[in-house]
Chain A
Amino acid sequence: MAGVRPASTDPDALSWYEATARQRVVALADPGTFQEFLPPTERRMSPHLPLFDLPRAFDDGIVVGRAALDGKTVLVAAQEGRFMGGAFGEIHGAKLVGLLRAALTLKPAAVLILFDTGGVRLQEANAGETAIAETMRAIIDVRAAGIPVIGLIGGRAGCYGGGGLIAGTCSRLAASEGGRISVSGPEVIETNKGAEEFDSRDRALVWRTMGGKHRRLIGGADAFCADSVSAFRKAALDLIGRAPAFDLATLEAEQARLESRLARFGDCRDATDVWARLGVNDPEAVPAMDTRAFDETVSRVREADHDAR
């Protein structure tokens, strides 16, 4: 398990969006503490991609291991959004499932999942889809054991498809502006339902509908981060300390929270309509707000903070 060295990283200067998965993990952790499981030197590569004449990655697009965060042991998984869109293949998914199952005996202070995924890798679709189901079950087992599972979302691939469902099973989520969370991606909706339903080239619409600010305002994410590794680290530490339990009371509260959302905003066409009803004074100004102004706006929205997850 020799530590495979990535390029050096400064958490304040490093953009989460631009960083590789390995850079994110190393810079997020206490310096020198990240220890990778099944590192690239083991060459655990997809047995399926060569059938499609596609290149493989030594880590199958996900980095998993152990690290210290403020001195506490955490398990970490980070998806590489630039390799096959960070999508779940057989090995990629199995590494995440294995990490979560390891948490049950290791009892770390938390499991961190650094999402960066388009969903299922089509060339390994059945394995990816099944791994997503296994991941969700494993997350619930880990949460029920009292271990927080924290999702961090701000990569270039966003968090789409089954990745969005996995994010929805986490104890807490932090997202940046670039951290789009959704099930059907813009292109998928446009391909199936037409550009009148969703114009995927309208990037402002994509950010408004799926981006980190909208998710934070409606309570779909618990923290909004600037695009730096240090911001995500601070958010992760904060969220670990206030993770909700996984039990009937939590899910009853989530049922009520989501039903109330549909009742209040079910007829809204655009995110700005939702924000206006949430009491945001100038909804049109939200997309351009910096982190501080946005945090102030969020602090006045009652729906943004809750334990119903």
Chain B
Amino acid sequence: MESLTFRHTTKKPLPGSVPNAITGVVASGNLEILLERVLPPDACEVAIETPIAGYGAVWEAVVADFVARAQPGGLRISINDGGARPDTVSLRLLQGARLMEA
């Protein structure tokens, strides 16, 4: 298993007041994402556990793109990966952010 953590500073907090949300399932080609509103409003941390080693650069790019688009300030995001493709990861991250905004 490989552990990766990315920390970002955002321009604004994610809107809404939902304290936490979960989306997805740990399965082959899928992943689960747990989002918790526990950080300062301009901070976002994404921690990943993945059985597929050596894709740190891809994860870094997907997370950076998500942070730029969603501005998820205040969120700690924890990912249990089952070997998801980058497009699936992006989709789930945006899904998770929407659940937190509701």
Chain A interface (Cβ < 8 Å from any Cβ of B): 2, 4-7, 20, 22, 40-41, 43, 50, 53-58, 80, 82-83
Contact = CB atoms under 8 A, between A and B. Distances in A.
The 4 closest A-B pairs by CB, nearest first: A82-B27, A5-B21, A57-B26, A82-B25
A134 B56 CA distance: 42
A58 B1 contact: no
Given A57-B80, A82-B25, 18 more contacts: A4-B20, A4-B34, A5-B21, A5-B99, A5-B102, A6-B22, A6-B99, A7-B23, A7-B95, A7-B99, A40-B32, A41-B20, A50-B1, A53-B51, A54-B51, A55-B50, A57-B25, A82-B27
B21 A58 contact: no
B49 A22 contact: no
A9 to B, nearest CB: 12
6 contacts: A6-B99, A41-B20, A55-B50, A56-B26, A57-B26, A82-B26
B19 A58 contact: no
B81 interface: yes
A22 B22 contact: yes
Nearest to B80: A55
Given A5-B99, A41-B36, A53 B25 contact: no
| Residue of B25, B36, B82, B95 with most chain A CB atoms under a 10 A cut-off | B25
A53 B20 contact: no
Contacts of B26: 55-57, 82-83
Contacts of A4: 20-22, 34
Contacts of A54: 1, 51
Contacts of B99: 5-7
In this complex, the member of B21, B50, B78, B81 whose beta carbon has the largest number of chain A beta carbons within 10 angstroms is B21
Contacts of A43: 78
A188 B19 CA distance: 44
From A4, A41, A55, residue with most partner B Cβ within 10 Å: A55
Interface in B61-102: 78, 80-82, 95, 99-100, 102
A137 B82 CA distance: 34
A4 B96 CA distance: 11
A58 B51 contact: no
B58 interface: no
B39 interface: no
Given A2-B19, A55-B51, A40 B34 contact: yes
A239 to B, nearest CB: 27
Contacts of B27: 82-83
A8 B78 CA distance: 21
Contacts of B4: none
B86 to A, nearest CB: 17
B20 A55 contact: no
A53 B51 CA distance: 6
A49 B49 CA distance: 12
A252 to B, nearest CB: 43
